[in-house]
């Protein structure tokens, strides 16, 4: 992994803080799907947290510099204060290859609309779920209201192909935004007891889209065809060069 801050190799002090916000993107063939969504979300979060805008062109320049010609990579842009931009470059990652098994947990992220640093609680719930044989944790609120997984948005496909996003507090991820661009979508309250009424359930983040096979002991309807249709539409979207 390479880490630069403002285009120079990072020092330990510059990457030690867990305060701030970030975005994670996958670079393929030198381009990023939904780059405008990443930059827009960074700017909105920067204004909310630090009270100043974030120059998207500057972010793009720093990402290009950190990539150093690498065309396939995992990239994180991290803002720990108002002035300095950290860029982490690592090997590209792929989404899971098999439908995921989720374990519901009673937790909602604070300031869920922000992709903020320091997410110990959601990471710990994910570890608990993994120890119990699940792939990830499904974050829920009072009464079993569904919000998101520990690292992804969750979408529910209705018989007419429309996607339902939970109305509970959650991050509007860039993957969610790409699905919403290509598939009719709306927000609605979804509870654990409702899950069997959909024809497909999937997780989506910057890695891609993967079907959900079950939540707790509830086996969900086979979703391969419905989720694959959503995935194909997103896959057809262009990639923008940082």
The whole-number mean pLDDT for each consecutive block of 10 residues of the chain, a chain of 242 residues, reads 95 92 98 98 98 98 97 98 98 93 98 95 98 98 98 96 97 97 97 94 96 95 87 96 95
Distance between CA 101 and CA 36 in Å, rounded? 31
pLDDT at residue number 93: 94
Which residues, other chains included, contact 196 with Cβ-Cβ below 8 Å and sequence gap of 6+?
218, 220, 221
Domain covering 100-235, topology? D-amino Acid Aminotransferase; Chain A, domain 2 (3.20.10)
What per-residue confidence (pLDDT) applies to 224? 80
Tokens of 238: 């262009």
Task: Assess contact for 18 and 117: CB atoms under 8 A.
Answer: yes
CA atoms within 13 A on the CB side of 56: 13
The encoded tokens of residue 3 equal: 């880490």
Residue 124's pLDDT is 98
The whole-model pTM stands at: 0.95
- Taking domain 2-90, whether its CATH number is 3.40.50.300 is answered by no
Three-class secondary structure of residue 116 per DSSP: strand
pLDDT attached to residue 184: 97
Domain boundaries along the sequence of the chain:
2-90, 100-235
């Amino acid at each position: 992994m390479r880490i630069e801050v403002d285009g120079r190799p990072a020092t330990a002090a510059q990457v030690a803080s867990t305060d701030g916000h970030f975005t994670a993107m996958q670079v393929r063939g030198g381009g990023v799907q939904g780059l405008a969504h990443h930059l827009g979300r960074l700017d909105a979060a920067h204004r909310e947290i630090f009270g100043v805008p974030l120059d998207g062109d500057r972010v793009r320049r720093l990402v290009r510099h950190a990539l150093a010609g690498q065309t396939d990579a995992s990239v994180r842009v991290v803002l720990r204060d108002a002035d300095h931009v950290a860029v982490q470059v690592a090997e590209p990652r792929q989404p899971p290859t098999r439908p995921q098994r989720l374990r519901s947990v009673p937790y909602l992220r604070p300031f869920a609309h922000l992709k903020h640093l320091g997410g110990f609680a959601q990471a710990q719930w994910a570890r608990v779920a993994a120890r119990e044989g699940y792939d990830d944790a499904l974050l829920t609120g009072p009464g079993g209201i569904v919000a998101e997984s520990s690292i992804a948005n969750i979408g529910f496909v209705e018989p007419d192909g429309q996607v339902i996003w939970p109305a509970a507090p959650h991050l509007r991820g860039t993957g969610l935004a790409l699905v919403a661009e290509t598939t009719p979508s709306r927000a609605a309250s979804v509870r654990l007891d409702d899950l069997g009424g959909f024809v497909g359930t999937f997780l989506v983040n910057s890695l891609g889209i993967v079907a959900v096979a079950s939540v707790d002991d509830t086996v969900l309807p086979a979703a391969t065809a419905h989720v694959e249709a959503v995935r194909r539409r997103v896959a057809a979207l262009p990639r923008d060069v940082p």
